[in-house]
Structure 1
């Protein structure tokens, strides 16, 4: 298998740029087309990048159909309160997905779609100390979880109608030096609030490992959901200690006050983080 054409949406983000850079090193990859509202954060030498706003439905669809990819890697997902507010993140994600998946129905060469999803689709089970497995019930309890589950449904419908492979990569919270992360910002506060009655432990995935998972999925085209989670888990108290921060157990009205103060400090805490 060589000369495979790949479209990467969301290539302007840190994860998308890493995926693009890795794809350029693969001998099985031919033409690469990237689409995003922002240019890549890394220099990509053989990727054709189109900077398009998520609301430009027809232009996005045109670029994808013209590329006629064998594989679409859809990373055009905005996490609430990472770079955009919750409302903006939801709107951008929905607009982008509509354009991409409408175009995908008209791509004659399409064999596989790889979706950036997340363990938030499991709800509170997604932060189990034992790590979620792919057979747990999907019970999202946050805006981000519901956004991701909606994308999974769109990809699954496309796979059924087209007979293509659909890989749903359910990522743990992605961390890295340049990754915009509500969780990371919260853990960098001088005093880190946490709800002792909520999710006591969490898992993460490093951005480089997450990028490699997308490239592997694009090459091997597995069908179904795959959790992408680093080994082990830790508590908010442990994470705060590692960062030389103070952890403050907060419940009831105090928890809402702590979230408001964190937002004022530039570290909003969306519901999927806690």
Structure 2
């Protein structure tokens, strides 16, 4: 690792950020890990030093200077507005937080490496997409709202930072949907539903990254010194219909608008957090090419897409019949309404 091995990890109040900080702290050559967030993490952080700091404010620059940080791992780009108090707060954390963090890194004489956990959501999902997105490709249309827009803007700010500080190595990881027993995300909430709504007439290809492989690729990025933008996913793809069968769930095919209506109802019930980009993904799917991950980043996931999903499926309890009936009733009503609108 370059520098003195002092690593700052953002977003450690969420489980993946907390686990990443702990995992990095346990690696050889890492002298110290500082975890920052606006609230303390709920689980054990081991040898990680927690600092209460809001990356949306200039105070983050003081933390970088005081701790002589040489590596920053940015884990604070989040996809679930319900968990942070709504869409406005989510956008502030994602976009304003990233802007302030990068401004602090720009002023810092000690920071030499920036690792950013991004997502394949950057590419969007549409009927015009290539079979596989490579890292030099752009989305077919610029996202106009929601999490996808945040991701697009965040990556734009990272590119701007790279131009202003060419001496700082940047590793940007566009990860497939992270999945695992401990992951709480729109995608894992979707597959935990007792009855799973799908878009009628579509069976998209899905890719997943096991939560343990996310930890491994973050550590690898910190230690390897490989810089650039990399797609990260387990080998292979899984059709949505296959995934539903492996969950032991029942699919509920519905017209696209009805899926959106059901998503709104489930979001209000706090059972799942649907978004326009997730509905697009569940319609058209997405493939990201991981050749560069192997050849240039030098990383190989332990789990294939199918293996990662199988382990997640085994961790989920069988569907409860009362909830099955409730969601089935909601879906049937919305399906009928969607058909009438068509």
TM-score (norm 1): 0.89
Q: Which moved more, 1:103-112 or 1:139-148?
A: 139-148
SS at match of 1:273: helix
SS at match of 2:6: strand
SS at match of 1:158: helix
Contact 2:203–2:241 (CA under 8 A) maintained in structure 1: no
Distance 2:87 2:183 in 1: 17
Q: 1:49 to 1:252 in 2, by over 3 A?
A: closer
| 1:66-145 correspondence runs (5 A) | 66-81=66-81, 83-84=83-84, 85-124=86-125, 131-139=132-140, 140-141=142-143, 143-145=146-148
Match of 2:267 in 1: 263
2:174 is matched with which residue: 170, 179, 182? 170
1:238 is matched with which residue: 228, 242, 266? 242
Q: Deviations over 1:5-31 (max 9, x none)?
A: 111111222221221122122111112
Shift of 1:187: 1.4
Distance 1:233 1:27 in 2: 34
Q: Which moved more, 1:143-152 or 1:106-115?
A: 143-152
SS at match of 1:6: strand
Q: Which moved more, 1:10-19 or 1:113-122?
A: 10-19
TM-score (norm 2): 0.73
Shift of 1:264: 3.9
Distance 2:83 2:240 in 1: 22
Does 2:58 correspond to 1:58?
Answer: yes
Contact 1:125–1:132 (CA under 8 A) maintained in structure 2: no
Distance 1:179 1:110 in 2: 30
Distance 1:242 1:130 in 2: 24
Match of 1:31 in 2: 32
Shift of 1:234: 1.8
SS at match of 1:49: strand
Does 2:198 correspond to 1:189?
Answer: no
Distance 1:199 1:100 in 2: 39
Contact 2:80–2:273 (CA under 8 A) maintained in structure 1: no
Shift of 1:120: 0.7
Q: Deviations over 1:176-200 (max 9, x none)?
A: 2222211111111121111145671
Distance 2:187 2:90 in 1: 16
Contact 2:122–2:139 (CA under 8 A) maintained in structure 1: yes
Ranges in structure 2 where 5+ consecutive residues have no aligned partner: 280-342
Q: 1:36 to 1:131 in 2, by over 3 A?
A: farther
Shift of 1:252: 4.6
Q: Deviations over 1:23-71 (max 9, x none)?
A: 122111112211112323442333211123444x132221122222111
Contact 2:22–2:47 (CA under 8 A) maintained in structure 1: no
Distance 2:257 2:82 in 1: 25
- Structure whose residues are more often strand by fraction: 1
Shift of 1:246: 0.9
Root mean square deviation of aligned Cα: 2.5
Q: 1:231 to 1:178 in 2, by over 3 A?
A: same
SS at match of 2:58: helix
Distance 1:71 1:77 in 2: 18
Q: 1:245 to 1:265 in 2, by over 3 A?
A: farther
Match of 1:47 in 2: 48
Q: 1:197 to 1:133 in 2, by over 3 A?
A: farther
Q: Deviations over 1:116-160 (max 9, x none)?
A: 11101111169x795532132234546222211211122222222
Does 2:159 correspond to 1:156?
Answer: yes
Runs of 4+ aligned residues of structure 1 deviating over 4 Å after TM superposition are: 128-131
